[in-house]
Amino acid sequence: MPLDWEGLRTFALVCQAGNMSAAARELGVNQTTVARRIARLEEWVGYSVLHRDGRAVSPTARAQALLQTALQMQENVSGLLAQEPQAENDTRQISGIVRLTGVDAILQDCVAPHVASLHRRYPGIALELIGANRNLSLAQRETDIAIRLARPETGAFHIRRLGCLQFGVFCNPDGLPPDALDPAKLPWIDLDEFFADKPEQKWLSDHFPDRKTIGYANRGSIMASMMAGHACCALLPMCVGARIDGLTLLEGYHPVGREVWLLTHQDKRHLPPVRAVADWLVDILLDGEFISRL
């Protein structure tokens, strides 16, 4: 019987995704097709490969070795595809549109200012930046690369933790002397309640529980604009607050940061334009200015 590579690949993705529906989305097929491939694989190996617990699935004890083989084959194929012919080693031969999604603060203040360096290195690559509150789906091919502030729980992604997005307590003095810049007494501009469970917002609530909030926004850049014209404070990403004229970083406060993760889909990570942009992102984001190494 010939090697059932499609079944092995599907089996690996199901185990990585944790359920049939997520694997189907990543493969671009329906759940019936996934189930049929798994059934064919089980017929090929002669034993059950998945343990089902409601919607969640995991490899059976007997299939653990098979899973490791499938993952290794997947890695070997990706590595083989990543070996470009020598003629393509010239960065000028790498071309295409690469879509990058992420939170506005990182794209606007950490990525966009460096785009010229990408074009100097890879003149054939066009980078599309998509800032959005919702996470566009790598699995559904809505984007090629994603920058996330939380590690995804499921999915067949190549994941790298880049570092920690730093935050600071910023103040618009609006003419007040330095000794009057007390965040416990000044009014605040806050993120809206949707973000109340985020680590930096919990830190803010713990350290300034009685602060007077005079405005809310869902983006750091909007919060910074709302600070104009009056003395007030806000907890902002360093990459946002440090670029706004007139804002002062208050010393002595150490808000918790957010982990920054770089994600590419397993099926796209070997593509030369995607790999080139991912490597470039690592270079520019880990400069230590706004994202610290962990």
3-state secondary structure of 208: coil
Rounded to whole angstroms, the Cα distance separating 221 from 231 reads 17
Rounded to whole angstroms, the Cα distance separating 291 from 73 reads 34
Q: Domains in the chain, start-ordered, CATH in brackets? A: 5-82 (1.10.10.10), 94-160+266-284 (3.40.190.10), 167-249 (3.40.190.10)
Q: Which pTM was predicted?
A: 0.68
Greater pLDDT, 205 or 153: 205
Is the separation of the CB atoms in 202 and 209 below 8 Å?
no
Question: Tens digits of per-residue pLDDT, 156-186?
Answer: 678 888 889 999 999 999 999 999 999 999 9
Q: What are phi and psi of 244, to 5 degrees?
A: -100, 115
Q: What one-character DSSP code corresponds to residue 166?
A: -
Q: Which residue has the tokens 């990058």?
A: 100
Pairing of the two strands 188-191 and 213-217: parallel
Q: What is the pLDDT of residue 140?
A: 52
Question: Tens digits of per-residue pLDDT, 242-252?
Answer: 989 999 999 99
